[in-house]
Chain A
Amino acid sequence: MEPAEAEFLAEKELVTIVPNFSLDRIHLIGGDLGPFNPGLPVEVPVWLAINLKQRQKCRLIPPEWMDVEKLEEIRDQERKEDTFTPMPSPYYMELTKLLLNYASDNIPKADEIRTLVKDTWDTRIAKLRLSADSFVRQQEAHAKLDNLTLMEINTTGTFLTQALNHMYKLRTNLQPGESAHSQDF
């Protein structure tokens, strides 16, 4: 899966916007949206929020977790724990990127938030690499990775599985006896 696809999925997440126009309920395949009342918060998917924002038709209200204090807590928690901690949103990275790119003027302390999310992301990716490393080293058959988000899986998923395939092939070719042996386990 491409990162772009993950992002596409993330665009279905709902965010709150304050429209500055009036529109009745609109009926779309994915469900009804609206009604839009000027000045009244309404939940819409990210794709629509961004579209409206770009046309200056709305003001975005950042998701609750997109707040420096909360993110600091999350980051610290992430650093403290060895395993992955649950993220505030399964699309936290994508949402941060999208919203900060298009609506940073509506998000207080946008830069700090960007940094914090990046920090969290880096921590998690580092953990992921580390666990992949030990997974390969110890030649484990399976591993449990809870609380990973789609985008994170994406970063290593394809590569890791392919690499494992290759390694398996290499191993079986070089040490047929051993691999057969290991299969007995």
Chain B
Amino acid sequence: MPSAQKPMRYGHTEGHTDVCFDDTGSHIVTCGSDGDVRIWENLDDDDPKSINVGEKAYSCALKNGRLITAVSNNTVQIHTFPEGAPDGILTRFTMNANHVVFNSDGTKIAAGSSDFMVKVVEVTDSSKQKTFRGHDAPVLSLSFDPRDVYLVSASCDGSVRVWKIADQTCTTSWPLLQKCNDVINAKSICRLGWQPGSGKLLAIPVDKVVKLYRRETWDSQFDLSDTFITQPLNVVAWSPCGQYLAAGSVDGSIVVWNVETQECIERMKHEKNYSICGLAWHPKYRQIAYTDTEGNLGLLENVGDGKKPNDKVASTVTKDYNDLFDGEDDDYLNGDMIEPQSSPKVGANEDDGDDDDLMPTSGHPRRAIIDDDDNSLDIGMIKANSNLLEKEDDDDDDQTGGFPALPPSSTQQPFYDGPMPTPKQKPFQSGSTPAHLMHRFMVWNSVGIIRCYNDEQDNAIDIEFHDTSIHHATHLPNSLNHTMADLSTEAILLACESTEELASKLHCIHFSSWDANKEWTVDMPKDEDIEAICLGQGWAACATSALLVRVFTVGGVQKEIFSLPGPVVSMAGHGEQLMIIYHRGTGFDGDQCLGVQLMELGKKKKQILHGDPLSLTKKSYLIWVGFSAEGTPCYVDSEGIVRMLNRGLGNTWIPVCNTREHCKGKSDHYWVVGIHENPQQLRCIPCKGARFPPTLPRPAVAILSFKLPYCQVTTEKGQMEEQYWRSVVFHNHVDYLSKNGYELDENTKNQSVKEQQELLMKLFALSCKLEREFRCMELADLMTQNVVNLAIKYASRSRRLNLAQRLSEMAVEKASELATALEDEEEEEDFRKHLSAGYSNSATEWSRLPVRNVQQDQEMEDTEETDAYEEVEETPEVHKQRPNPFSKGVTAAEVTAPKSVVIASSSQGRVNPFKVSSNKKDPVVPSANVLDTMSKYSKKNSLSSSRAVNKQNPPVIKPLIPKPKSKQALAASFFQARIPNSSEKTVEEREEKAGNESSEVKVTAQENTESKRPKTGFQMWLEENRANILTDNPDLNEAEVIKEGMSRFRMLSSEERMVWTEKAKGGTVNDLTDDKKRKRPTADEDEAKKNQEQKSEDSNLSKKPKPLDQSTNVRLSAFAFKQS
């Protein structure tokens, strides 16, 4: 029997619908609660003809080129068919008519209304009316006797009456239905039907059975029922031959019986179980069109094909089986994908007759059908692209399309039932609505809106800017029929497809141009159509049907051109980044197979994503692709999942929002228009019952928040974890941008770090409370140095000494790890110094222009791993500057104080490379930093100048953690021996406080070695050559001297540089290893005291530390007391 159940598609807005075929069966006509009658060529009709007949259409009937509709203004109207021109009003009621039907020859219509009346009107002469009074409630349905003698009507009063048309009397009446007071409350709309032809039988759906009454005698002949029907039947329809009867129920099942044999030949379930309210047989073929109360239209083909007498039981069983699997089609399909042959076989065996031999042969016709189905899907998909509304239905259909065939209830036609290829998604512009609409958005992005009007009077494009200071609103005639558009702050880009005469054109309005010619156009070569366009900063790009991407400057110069691996889906540009999504191959079972390329078209061209597969939700397709305002690539799929590139995790994609979670209704969607990372905003337009907004009334933008799909976000822990990682993900862009030389506000970065660290601390506290000390350790691993110290303090306060111990050990370990890493890189030290110094140079003239030296560039091209490595590498320098600013504030003496300690401090970098880079990026810091490194070698010189620098740049000193905490944190940090703190005071503090205080020895040890800190080749070189530089340029300050030295050093040949590096190494390695050996702390408190004394002697004695000492001593001892 396999009837092919064609995918449901959107027909009308939600609400009651009706359906019928035209006389020849070439069109399906539907009407719905949106007041439109739609004429469909077939189910896959992309652009059905719509006739607006009123505010709501309740019922429609079509015969002899006349379309009768019952509409909400209480009239029954005629329209010509297929033109759809209004042809007058046939009759009026005091309430709306609920059902209209033609008689068999089309000369009369009958209409039943909510005002309890039934009227029969001659179509050609509306004055000839007959009124049937007798119902005590709204009339539900009507049916004409094919012989034109009787009329039957069902009403909300529970009765079904048969009227004699001639004398308008009631012949008989059955109280069959449940009483109700209005049509909308009726359990069933009770569409009844007279058997065509002889009119011998009258079919009435009564609850779950169809009662058949014999003409004239009006006695119940028999009932048709089926176990498949579990809910009341809504509608019955006879096949034109009178042999079959179809019935649709309120839960969406459709059953077809052979009336003669009274057996069920077809059972089918609506894919979404919506109530069937319209059912019509094709006049010639075995097709049934049906509509549901949600406005969808479906088609059932080959009804009753290959029906077999003995099939009945088997089919019931399998159908039930179907039902069982209804929710899990996917798995089912997957199973089949693995074993495509198995299920047809099972089916074949089930039905004795067919054996394996039959399969291949008879497989062909069936395959043809399937193919056909695919085509239909294909068109469905095209539609989906152009008219996104339907897509949802289509999606589900992909499964149902293949589904009915799977458990072969009828088996004579085995066929291919493996995975079906998904039709490829058509190219689209992000933020546009379907091109076939008369009024549409060509683009809506963060810059502005481009609307296109294409109706009788006008074919024009309206451009409007959100920010009128960019440009004023513009109105353009659309003579070339542009269908694609993009908008940036410097230009408008439009493109049209080719026509017979005209080539496909790219049209750019470069409004920010300073010359008089603000427009340019480019014709594509013959047979090459533009399929997607985008604008970046200073460039425009288009992808064409020839699988080419053409890049132009915004002024119209042709630049790069390259081939795409597959047909383009969409493109997006931002700054110098270009993202292209294309088809990598054919997807199966509803999935798309897309790839993404991300490239940078700046000075240094490179590809970041090399055609990686794009992750999409199952059975979804892409609907939006673009960049966040900060330049992170993002995309949205049809399931409403917003994904963002996570540059912090090897350029993976992370889902950041599910817009469907925010929707109220099932058919509501959010139409994304922009993404901002700071503040975190997803800007989109809520669309009720649609996937995209209409142009009028002007839609308002709503803001959704992001939410990473972490587990258990209802718990405090899950929530904070989500927040933490969201904060991390949404600040990746800071790193990226600064790496690419964009100017950044240091504050935002500090704030994010602060926020993240706060969350970590909260999590830490929570874990502490839950006695999860191991987890605490893991969390501490993510923390920055300062916060780890805070955590140590917290742990010891909450009497978790074990934890505190471990934490401090960890802190030490981390520090040493870094030191090791540093040592390993020792040979590159020279290079690194060079690098960082170079960085500092550029930093002073920090600007949008990416200033990088060659080494930096190389490093950037490196993989993620080396990126991290690099970061680690850079940290030491970065951190050196941190202690110093403090020390400057305290005493001058300390400037010369511990240097080697600095290395330890870089453990922070390991914990949070992020933070480090923030420091690194501070335009001022690097120079200070270089000075510091230098200062120990040329103390006299550097002292004054570095001081000066620091004075000038107080912000550098600012601690990253909140003020009140910072004090504590500092104090806490002295648990850790190797922490760099140049200030005497703090060192002492640390030593005093140490409860567990192993670390002290190490500190001192280190302090001792500090002066022996390894020099780099460059430093050594500089020491020797400083004099030269100074004589050459006597008026240089320290920073400039280094800069100059840097450039000179760079000019040296590589051999010379090596020599210096070697020199530097020879001098330093021993020191460092020595240093390391002494790492493990063993000292007790006394020793620490001693060390402290020793230390204070060692270093230049300062006045300040002393008083401070005392106060901190008091505090710390109090603390220690508390602890014990």
Residues of chain A at the chain B interface (Cβ within 8 Å): 16, 18, 20-22, 37-41, 56-57, 59, 61, 108
B700 touching A39 by the CB < 8 A rule?
no
B466 touching A20 by the CB < 8 A rule?
yes
B681 proximity list for chain A (CB < 8 A): 40
A61 to chain B, nearest CB (A): 5
B469 interfacial contact with A, CB 8 Å: yes
A20 touching B683 by the CB < 8 A rule?
no
A37 to B701, CA, bound (A): 12
| Contact A20 B701, CB 8 Å, known A39-B446, A40-B683 | no
Q: Of the candidates B469, B697, B701, B702, which one forms a contact with A39 in the assembled complex, judged by CB atoms under 8 Å apart?
A: B701
Residues of chain B at the chain A interface (Cβ within 8 Å): 446, 448, 465-469, 681, 683, 697-698, 700-703
A168 to chain B, nearest CB (A): 54
- Count chain A CB atoms within 10 A of each CB in B466, B697, B700 and give the residue with the most: B466
| Contact A20 B468, CB 8 Å, known A39-B446, A40-B683 | yes
B999 to chain A, nearest CB (A): 46
What are 28 inter-chain pairs, A to B, with CB distance below 8 A? A16-B700, A18-B466, A18-B701, A20-B466, A20-B467, A20-B468, A21-B468, A21-B469, A22-B467, A22-B469, A37-B466, A38-B465, A38-B466, A38-B467, A38-B468, A39-B446, A39-B448, A39-B466, A39-B701, A40-B681, A40-B701, A41-B700, A41-B701, A41-B702, A56-B468, A59-B698, A61-B700, A108-B697
A41 proximity list for chain B (CB < 8 A): 700-702
A56 to B472, CA, bound (A): 12
Q: B468: nearest residue on chain A (CB-CB)? A: A20
Given contacts A22-B469, A40-B703, 10 further A-B contacts (CB under 8 A): A20-B466, A20-B467, A20-B468, A21-B468, A37-B466, A38-B468, A40-B466, A40-B701, A59-B698, A108-B697
- Count chain A CB atoms within 10 A of each CB in B467, B469, B697 and give the residue with the most: B467
A37 proximity list for chain B (CB < 8 A): 466
B703 touching A21 by the CB < 8 A rule?
no
B1010 to chain A, nearest CB (A): 46
Q: B674: nearest residue on chain A (CB-CB)? A: A39
B700 proximity list for chain A (CB < 8 A): 16, 18, 41, 61
Q: B470: nearest residue on chain A (CB-CB)? A: A38
A21 proximity list for chain B (CB < 8 A): 467-469
A38 to B468, CA, bound (A): 8
B701 proximity list for chain A (CB < 8 A): 18, 39-41
A21 to B467, CA, bound (A): 5
A7 to chain B, nearest CB (A): 26
A56 to B465, CA, bound (A): 13
- The prevalent SS among residues of A at the interface is loop
A57 proximity list for chain B (CB < 8 A): 468
- The prevalent SS among residues of B at the interface is loop
B779 to chain A, nearest CB (A): 34
A20 touching B703 by the CB < 8 A rule?
no
B683 proximity list for chain A (CB < 8 A): 39-40
B443 to chain A, nearest CB (A): 13
Q: A57: nearest residue on chain B (CB-CB)? A: B468
A35 to chain B, nearest CB (A): 9
Q: A37: nearest residue on chain B (CB-CB)? A: B466
B660 to chain A, nearest CB (A): 22
B467 proximity list for chain A (CB < 8 A): 20-22, 38-39
B448 proximity list for chain A (CB < 8 A): 39
A108 to B700, CA, bound (A): 13
B904 to chain A, nearest CB (A): 41
Q: B467: nearest residue on chain A (CB-CB)? A: A38
A16 proximity list for chain B (CB < 8 A): 700
B487 to chain A, nearest CB (A): 12
- Count chain B CB atoms within 10 A of each CB in A21, A38, A59 and give the residue with the most: A38
A41 to B683, CA, bound (A): 10
Q: B629: nearest residue on chain A (CB-CB)? A: A37
Listed from nearest, the 7 A-B pairs whose CB atoms lie closest are: A39-B466, A38-B467, A38-B466, A20-B468, A108-B697, A61-B700, A22-B467
A6 to B465, CA, bound (A): 37
A38 to B471, CA, bound (A): 12
- Count chain B CB atoms within 10 A of each CB in A21, A22, A37 and give the residue with the most: A37
A1 to chain B, nearest CB (A): 35
B469 proximity list for chain A (CB < 8 A): 21-22
Q: B449: nearest residue on chain A (CB-CB)? A: A39
A166 to B469, CA, bound (A): 61
A61 to B698, CA, bound (A): 9
B4 to chain A, nearest CB (A): 43
B698 proximity list for chain A (CB < 8 A): 59
A41 to B673, CA, bound (A): 13
A111 to chain B, nearest CB (A): 15
B465 touching A20 by the CB < 8 A rule?
yes
A114 to chain B, nearest CB (A): 17
A22 to B468, CA, bound (A): 9
A22 proximity list for chain B (CB < 8 A): 467, 469
Q: A39: nearest residue on chain B (CB-CB)? A: B466
A12 to B702, CA, bound (A): 23
B697 to chain A, nearest CB (A): 5
B470 to chain A, nearest CB (A): 8
Q: B466: nearest residue on chain A (CB-CB)? A: A39
A180 to chain B, nearest CB (A): 61
A39 to B473, CA, bound (A): 13
B446 proximity list for chain A (CB < 8 A): 39
Q: B464: nearest residue on chain A (CB-CB)? A: A20
A38 proximity list for chain B (CB < 8 A): 465-468
B446 to chain A, nearest CB (A): 7
A70 to B458, CA, bound (A): 34
A57 to B698, CA, bound (A): 17
- Count chain B CB atoms within 10 A of each CB in A21, A40, A59 and give the residue with the most: A40
B702 proximity list for chain A (CB < 8 A): 41
B214 to chain A, nearest CB (A): 51
A41 to B703, CA, bound (A): 9
B703 proximity list for chain A (CB < 8 A): 40
A18 to chain B, nearest CB (A): 7
Q: A35: nearest residue on chain B (CB-CB)? A: B679
A18 proximity list for chain B (CB < 8 A): 466, 700-701
A103 to chain B, nearest CB (A): 13
Q: B444: nearest residue on chain A (CB-CB)? A: A39
Q: A109: nearest residue on chain B (CB-CB)? A: B697
A38 to B700, CA, bound (A): 13
A59 proximity list for chain B (CB < 8 A): 698
A59 to B698, CA, bound (A): 10
A8 to B700, CA, bound (A): 28
A57 to B697, CA, bound (A): 20
B905 to chain A, nearest CB (A): 36
A39 proximity list for chain B (CB < 8 A): 446, 448, 466-467, 683, 701
A61 to B700, CA, bound (A): 8
A56 to B701, CA, bound (A): 19
A163 to chain B, nearest CB (A): 47
A89 to chain B, nearest CB (A): 19
B694 to chain A, nearest CB (A): 12
Q: B469: nearest residue on chain A (CB-CB)? A: A21
A22 to B489, CA, bound (A): 14
A16 to B697, CA, bound (A): 16
A40 to B444, CA, bound (A): 13
B600 to chain A, nearest CB (A): 27
A92 to B982, CA, bound (A): 67
B697 proximity list for chain A (CB < 8 A): 108
A108 proximity list for chain B (CB < 8 A): 697
B1012 to chain A, nearest CB (A): 51
A56 to B469, CA, bound (A): 12
A39 to B698, CA, bound (A): 12
A20 to B468, CA, bound (A): 6
B675 to chain A, nearest CB (A): 13
- Count chain B CB atoms within 10 A of each CB in A39, A40, A59 and give the residue with the most: A39
A37 to B466, CA, bound (A): 9
A59 to B468, CA, bound (A): 12
A56 proximity list for chain B (CB < 8 A): 468
- Count chain B CB atoms within 10 A of each CB in A18, A20, A21, A56 and give the residue with the most: A20
B431 to chain A, nearest CB (A): 12
